[in-house]
Amino acid sequence: MDTIYQALYELEKNNESAALCTVVKSEGSTPRHVGSKMLVYPDGKFIGTVGGGDLEHRVLDEAWMAISDGQPRLLKYSMVDPSRGDPGVCGGTVEVFVEPILPAPMIVVIGGGHVGKAVVHLAKWLGFRVAVSDDRAEFCTPESVPGADSYYPCPMAELPNQLKVTRQTYVVVTSRGSSIDAAGLPALLRSQAAYIGVIGSKRRWLTTVKALKEQGIPDELIEKVHSPIGLELNAETPEEIAVSIMAEILMVRGRGTGKMMKE
């Protein structure tokens, strides 16, 4: 058990994902007692056990789904008759609670200009982890863009090699031009990012789309992009634009509609 708690500490420290499976109820004859735990990693590894055999295989499958969709689940199994689909013949019943352990969501701001700075400030205030990237090193420092958790002075195309992009990652591209977006976006489009937004006008985005298609990027990847980025607020200042961007991210993350509450 100490090993599992140590592993949970390491997950928190390294911003990694896993699922914690705990036997919360046991009646009759079952393989493990209440409180037994198993920690499951996305790569298939696990430590601890909730009983072994078919029971454990079923819990493992549910754990991987929990890591993927971020939803906990309470699993109930009768262990009486395998011919009815039961995972064993011990004679009892067992309940296992599967809890996804996910890192705090991260906002990745690509482009350390005025809007990028405003997004960093607002995203931190909203409780996100924040990373900043820019191919111009002088625009990617704590002095030029205060408040971020980490800085990646590199071209956009190289960023996925330096920063782990997961389903908890929300990418905000506030770069200085379409040519930079067209060169850097393909690597991000193939990532697991939950959201990719690109700043600019509709015309700028159409220019970028044309360049992406000329590189052979399929439509289904291009369609992942939110551009022009943000919700329609008639925003003008960098701070107002940052509110528009973060409002869209919160809407996507929370599966909201963006409608006025009175509607």
Average pLDDT for runs of 10 along the chain of length 263: 86 89 83 86 90 84 92 84 49 87 93 96 96 96 96 96 92 95 96 95 96 96 96 96 97 91 84
Cα 136 from Cα 133, distance rounded (Å) = 9
| Domain ranges, ordered by start, for the chain | 2-101, 106-253
pLDDT at 198: 97
Looking at the domain that runs over 106-253, which CATH code has it been given?
3.40.50.720
Q: Which amino acid is at 164?
A: K
Beta strands in 28-92 (DSSP E): 37-40, 46-48, 73-78
pLDDT at 30: 67
The burial class, CB within 10 Å (0-12 / 13-18 / 19+), for 38 is buried
Report the run of H or E that residue 211 belongs to, with start and end: helix 202-214
Report yes or no: 162 and 153 within 8 Å, Cβ to Cβ.
Answer: no
